[in-house]
Amino acid sequence: MGAAISLSVNLNKIAWLRNARQGGRPSVVGAAIDVINAGAYGITIHPRPDQRHITVTDVAELSTLLHEQYPDVELNIEGNPLAGARAGGYPGFDALIESARPNQCTLVPDSDAQLTSDHGWNLDDATQRARIGQSVHHYQALGARVSLFMDPDLEQLEHVPETGANRVELYTESFADAVKQHGPESAEVAESLANFSAASQRAGELGLGVNAGHDLDLDNLPLFRQVPGILEVSIGHALISDALEMGLKSAVRAYLDVLEE
C-alpha cells in the first residue's frame, strides 16, 4: 500500500445544524479546531450562494483561524466559479476566494437548485474550458492550488490540462452506491474500482494530482483507498454523522486510521 491519504474534513453539516436554530451552536470554528486537533490535514467548506450552511462570515472566520493559528492546515473552498453575487450577502465565488485566500479551490459545476454536488464538469466545449481556465489562473495567482470536480471519465480527463488546473477531485458517488447496493465483494464494486483506478492513473499521466470525495465512509473507504495515486479525500456528511455517535475527534481519528493503514 502507498503513502497515507490526506483527510480534509468538510464542515458544511456543522453549519447546517447551527443554521437550523439561527444561533451560534454548534460552532463551526470550534468544530474546525477539534478536527485539526484530532489530526486532520485540512478543512473543506462549500459556501453556496443561498448560504444554506456555510455563510460568508464562516468563510472569513475560518480563513482567519487557519492563516493566523494553524498555517500548516489547508483550507479548501469548493464552489462554482461562475456563481456571481446574490441577494442576502453572497459576494460571488471570486470575491470569496480573493478575500479568504485558501490553499486549494475545488471548482464544482453545481447550481443553486442542487441539494448536493452530483456530477463533474463537462469539458467538451472549448468555450467552457476557456472560461474555467480563466478562473483557474485567477485563483492560482491568489496562491491557491486548483482542483476540478470530475467524473471518472477518461475522455473528460483529457481536457483538464487545457484549463491549467493542478488537480482533479474524482466524484465517488457511483462507487459508494455500488458498495451499498451490491456489497463490497461484488463484481459491480470491482468494476467501479477498476474505473477509478484507470481514471487516477490517467490523471497522473497528464500531470494532475488526484483528490476524491462524495459519500465516502468508514464502510467503503477501506476499499476505495486501494485506488492508486489518491492524494486527498474530502469527507463531510458521513464523518459528521458518525460524530453523533462517537464524538467529532474520535470520528476524525477513525477515518485517519483507515487512511493511514
Q: Does 78 qualify as catalytic in the annotation?
A: yes
Give the C-alpha separation, 160 to 203, whole Å.
9
Using a 10 angstrom Cβ sphere, with 0-12 exposed, 13-18 middle and 19 or more buried, the burial of residue 136 is buried
Q: Residues 234, 76: contact at Cβ < 8 Å?
A: yes
Q: Does 169 qualify as catalytic in the annotation?
A: no
25-28 contacts: CB < 8 A, separation 24 or more?
A: 28/54, 28/58, 28/61, 28/62
As a whole number of Å, the CA-based R_g of the chain is: 17
Give the C-alpha separation, 82 to 134, whole Å.
11
- CA-to-CA dists, residue 66 to 14, 38, 91, 159, angstroms: 17, 15, 21, 33
Catalytic residue selected from 53, 74, 214, 232: 214
Q: Does 53 qualify as catalytic in the annotation?
A: no
Give the C-alpha separation, 39 to 21, whole Å.
29
Identity (one letter) of the amino acid at 220? N
Catalytic residue selected from 74, 78, 169, 232: 78
The catalytic site residues sit at: 46, 78, 214
